[in-house]
Structure 1
Amino acid sequence: MKRIILGIGLLAFGLTLAACGTSDQDTTKSEGKIQAVATFYPMYEFTKEVLGDAGEVKLLIPAGTEPHDYEPSAKDIATISDADVFVYNSESFETWVENIEDNLSDKNLVIEAADEIELLDLETTSEDDHDELEEAEDHDHEGKDPHVWTDPVMVKAQVAEIAKELSERYPDQKATFEKNAANYTKKLDALDQSYQEAFVNASNKTFLVQHAAFGYLAHQYGLTQESIAGISPDQEPTPARLAELKHYAEDHQVKVIYFEENANSKVAETLAKETGIELMVLNPLESLTKEQMKEGETYITVMEENLTALKASIK
């Protein structure tokens, strides 16, 4: 049904675009700068870091919005079409991208940041997860985990991909893109080193989260992620799954249950209350709030906060 609605939206978009001519956004573009649109916050920051002063980046999915269920409006598609560069994570996350590609022209450079990354398979630890895996396959996730950005090593690959694609399209600015990417990669290297040092000698490497967004981070640093919900934060576990998790927490001496500020934490709170376990925030970085962005928080600072939080569980 979503695709039918989207198809109607695309038709309306085409008619609207033909009638509108130059939009207000065109008049506010900085002369000579590359205009980019990135889907959600991590893609926004990575693109901004690589472009530097050579371009301007617009965040497509508004701050504080859950990107899992996002579908672009006709206005959003117009914004993408009007840009020089469009950056997204992968078709396993932004499943709607393939539906709008026919509306883009040769002038639109489309970059799939995770294009060179082999995505992990979704893990199934319960009947709930099995059901969601089937649902993910039905919605073109193809049973793959798209949350690559929670692992700073994978982010380095994404930054490299963005820099490569920009350099091929704008070869006269290749040196700038490569320098900017190298500078940001140094920050990611330092972040990676901090995570390695924190967990290399840990005896307990299990952590319990609200939804399964940290599979790549767990895989990278030899940790075990157990989730209340599956790949989507909106999935609610069955009573049987909650009972299973309660026993899991007891058997593994879980000290912390991690929840998300931008998602419904009711189930995590219920489980914490029943087990007497502490609640802490672990941010999957699918979105930052306007307040966080205004206060200067970034992918790096939030990942540092996540590391501090994880240390409460993994010792």
Structure 2
Amino acid sequence: MNARRLIPAAALAGAVALAATALTACSGASAAGGGKDGRLGVMSSFYPMQFLAEQIGKDHVKVATLTKTGVEPHDLEITPKQTGQLEQSDVVLYLKGLQPAVDKAVTQSGVKHVVDAAALTELEVHGSSGHDHGHEGEEGHDHGHGEAGKDPHIWLDPVKYAEVAKGVGAALEKADPGHAADYRKNTGELVGKLDALDAEFKGGLGNTASRTFITTHSAFGYLAERYGLDQEGISGVDPESEPSPARMKELQALAQKENVSTVFFEALASDKTARTLAADTGLKTDVLDPLEGISDKSQGADYFEVMRSNLKNLQKALGSK
């Protein structure tokens, strides 16, 4: 006699249902990014958001990012696979106005816990100068700016980044209340480190020979405003675009007037434009990293290391005393 015939039909049906339920639960956990270990699945839009999630979530989260190393965040195009991963995440952390493709995908995702970093602090409009809220000297202003021309580069100001960190911590507490105490502790530690970084910038840039810096990527408006500096972008909407002859002449005069010694370019982009201007004006070139990603070209392994490299390069260029 076949032994399988001895199993009652109801019992067999129950076992199948139980197995199906278990499989569904397992698949759901994996899809959410948390996997079998039960960690909270967090999808971040690009590096500064990924860093916050990792620093605050630590062992309780599994963090993925939509913007891979070496990809320009502003121009990101999301694949169908990434869209699926986004929709299956427990928490989505992004910065509205920086990446149009991400904004669209997040709106359509249906994810319950969505955190917009732009809503956690106050965004401002910055022109080529940190103290000038117009758009002089830049045709079309800087690429990737959000609604009404507001500058999304909030992470380059440690004070604003700390405000965002507090909001992210609160969001993780809500999404995973079982580990709320740890998220609060980790948030406090991160904010403390950002406060210390702010103090380093204040001290390091408090007394300099010049207050003006020239950069190919006008991403440093918040940083300039925070520490009393003036940012001058070279030209156009693209950090790699060629400056117009009129803008080149204007910057040459500005460099002489404001005692500018250095033209900054970013680590992940071409230095061609910076070197063109430097050659025509007799200036030096150096890196000022907008920290939109970390690669083997970055002057540091994480946010804090790169920011301290930026501080060091600014001090050297501005003649810190």
Instruction: Give TM class, smaller chain.
Output: 0.7 to 0.9
1:19 corresponding residue in structure 2 = none
Give a deviation string over 1:206-264, Cα, whole Å, max 9, x none. Answer: 11111101100011111111111356424432221112111211221211111112112
Q: Measure the CA separation in 1 of the matches of 2:243 and 2:155.
A: 25
1:256 corresponding residue in structure 2 = 262
Q: Measure the CA separation in 1 of the matches of 2:86 and 2:288.
A: 31
Q: Measure the CA separation in 2 of the matches of 1:123 and 1:299.
A: 25
2:76 corresponding residue in structure 1 = 70
Q: 2:196 aligns with which of 165, 178, 190?
A: 190
Give a deviation string over 1:81-131, Cα, whole Å, max 9, x none. Answer: 121111112x2212334422453235x4111123121211131676652x3
1:224 corresponding residue in structure 2 = 230
CA RMSD of superposed structures (Å): 2.6
Q: Measure the CA separation in 2 of the matches of 1:28 and 1:182.
A: 24
Are 2:305 and 1:301 equivalent residues in the alignment? yes
Q: 2:115 aligns with which of 104, 111, 115?
A: 111
Q: CA deviation at 1:172?
A: 2.1
| Structure 1 letter corresponding to 2:140 | E
Is 26-35 or 269-278 further displaced after alignment? 26-35
Q: Measure the CA separation in 1 of the matches of 2:126 and 2:104.
A: 24
Are 2:316 and 1:312 equivalent residues in the alignment? yes
| Structure 1 letter corresponding to 2:316 | A
> Any conservation in 1 of the 2:34–2:61 contact (CA below 8 Å)?
no
| Structure 2 letter corresponding to 1:56 | K
Q: 2:207 aligns with which of 191, 198, 201?
A: 201
| Structure 2 letter corresponding to 1:104 | S
SS in 1 for 2:127: coil
The alignment-based identity, stated in percent, is 33
> Any conservation in 1 of the 2:137–2:233 contact (CA below 8 Å)?
no
> Any conservation in 2 of the 1:152–1:188 contact (CA below 8 Å)?
yes
Give a deviation string over 1:22-73, Cα, whole Å, max 9, x none. Answer: 69x6499242100111111111111111101111111210112111111212
Q: Measure the CA separation in 1 of the matches of 2:36 and 2:230.
A: 47
Q: TM-score, normalised by structure 2?
A: 0.82
| Structure 2 letter corresponding to 1:141 | E
Q: Measure the CA separation in 2 of the matches of 1:58 and 1:286.
A: 15
Q: TM-score, normalised by structure 1?
A: 0.83
Q: Extract unaligned runs of 5+ from structure 2.
A: 1-26, 130-134
| Structure 1 letter corresponding to 2:97 | S
> Any conservation in 2 of the 1:92–1:142 contact (CA below 8 Å)?
no
> Any conservation in 2 of the 1:38–1:44 contact (CA below 8 Å)?
yes
Q: CA deviation at 1:157?
A: 0.7
2:104 corresponding residue in structure 1 = 99
Shift of the 230–152 alpha-carbon distance from structure 1 to 2, 3 Å rule, reads farther
Shift of the 258–300 alpha-carbon distance from structure 1 to 2, 3 Å rule, reads same
Q: 1:176 aligns with which of 176, 179, 182?
A: 182
Give a deviation string over 1:162-210, Cα, whole Å, max 9, x none. Answer: 0111112222221111101111112111111100111223342111111
SS in 2 for 1:110: strand
Q: 1:143 aligns with which of 149, 152, 155?
A: 149
> Any conservation in 1 of the 2:86–2:92 contact (CA below 8 Å)?
yes
Q: Measure the CA separation in 1 of the matches of 2:143 and 2:314.
A: 28
Shift of the 229–178 alpha-carbon distance from structure 1 to 2, 3 Å rule, reads farther
Q: Measure the CA separation in 1 of the matches of 2:193 and 2:121.
A: 20
Q: 1:58 aligns with which of 47, 54, 64?
A: 64
> Any conservation in 2 of the 1:212–1:229 contact (CA below 8 Å)?
no
Aligned positions of 1:19-58 closer than 5 A: 26=31, 29-58=35-64
| Structure 2 letter corresponding to 1:99 | K
Shift of the 269–292 alpha-carbon distance from structure 1 to 2, 3 Å rule, reads closer
